[in-house]
Amino acid sequence: MDKPTNHKAWFLVLPVLVLVAFSAVIPLMTVVNYSVQDTFGNNRFFWAGLEWFEEMLRSERMWNALGRQLIFSATILAIEVPLGIFVALNMPKRGVWASVCLVLMSLPLLIPFNVVGTIWQIFGRVDIGLLGYTLDRLGINYNYTQNAVDAWITVIVMDVWHWTSLVALLCYAGLQSIPDAYYQAAKIDQASRWKVFRYIELPKMAGVLMIAVLLRFMDSFMIYTEPFVVTGGGPGNATTFLSINLVKMALGQFDLGPAAAFSIMYFLVILLISWVFYTVMTNLDRKGG
């Protein structure tokens, strides 16, 4: 005889569902509503269909912003993931110094995004910033407000400083879960340091690395506050990523229809690429297991 199902547990989930509805579903439906309509003011709307989506697909401005966004995300992943693994491998495993390292690695993650942008905006200034002043005294022509390459380097270094700790802490947690018996067996077999990393440490970090890559990709693909505070999207449009472009369109130009269509496409791109990342890395993890 089948055991009767107790549906009362759904009442425990109901507050979460209501919260998600108000914080995600309802705003999303509002954006969808704006994306298929046009307005001439006075709160009067007219059906526009897919006109705004077609306009965004033909927009050179959007494709340029998407290209910059993909380059930025690929660059910071290529730097932060190997760097985070390297830092985690060289952190103390036990003792007081392990606790000190964990606290120090956590500090950048606790700083609000706008504060990070302000710190690097001041840090890179030639007149009052330590970095800008030092480079100027060394004869290096550095100006992130006028030179596109300098602006890109500043934004990338700022992101690496801010978020490499997250990758390192996740990898450190994965390393801590490896039993000592694995290292003892590798020592008996006289395995080299590279083989220990390749066949013991890296497979054990695969799960947390997948989480780290997904988190860093999604966050980097939605980055807004830090580059906006430092460069404002400039010089020109050099650091105008998708999020900055969207805000300029919605609030600066008040083009609500195109901005709504753009935001939906933005969301779908993030969802698609995240799904691809997750699928590929899950398959690799299964093959490795």
Higher pLDDT, residue 57 or 289: 57
pLDDT of residue 287: 67
Round to whole Å and give the CA distance between 79 and 74. Answer: 9
* C-alpha span between 10 and 18 (Å, rounded): 12
| Amino acid 190: pLDDT | 87
| Integer Cα distance of 141 and 139 in angstroms | 6
Is residue 16 one of the residues assigned to a domain? Answer: no
**Residue 246 pLDDT greater than 80, yes or no:** yes
d(CA 108, CA 169): 12
pLDDT at 160: 95
**How far apart (Å, rounded) are the C-alpha atoms in residues 265 and 268?**
5
167 domain residue, yes or no: yes
Q: Is residue 21 part of a domain?
A: no
Note whether residue 114 is domain-resident: yes
Burial class, 91, CB count within 10 angstroms (exposed 0-12 / middle 13-18 / buried 19+): buried
Identify the pLDDT of residue 152: 95
With cut-offs at 50, 70 and 90, classify the pLDDT of residue 4. Answer: low
| Residue 234: inside a domain | yes
pLDDT in tens, 32-80: 888 888 876 677 778 888 888 898 889 898 899 999 999 999 999 999 9
| Count of domains forming the chain | 1
For residue 167, what pLDDT band results from cuts at 50, 70 and 90? very high
Mean pLDDT of 208-230: 89
Range of the domain at 73: 61-288
Highest mean pLDDT among 15-19, 104-108, 272-276: 104-108
The residue that leads in pLDDT, 153 or 281, is: 153
What CATH number corresponds to the domain at position 89? 1.10.3720.10
Mean pLDDT of 122-136: 89
Cα separation, 3 vs 95, whole angstroms: 51
What pLDDT, on the 0 to 100 scale, is given for residue 21?
Answer: 76
pLDDT of residue 288: 58
Residue 275 covered by a domain = yes
Question: Looking at residue 127, what DSSP letter applies?
Answer: T
pLDDT higher than 80, residue 182: yes
Any domain includes 23: no
What integer is the mean pLDDT of 72-99? 92
Percent of the chain with pLDDT over 70: 95
Q: What is the pLDDT of residue 281?
A: 73
Q: What is the pTM of this model?
A: 0.84
Residue 47 lies in a domain: no
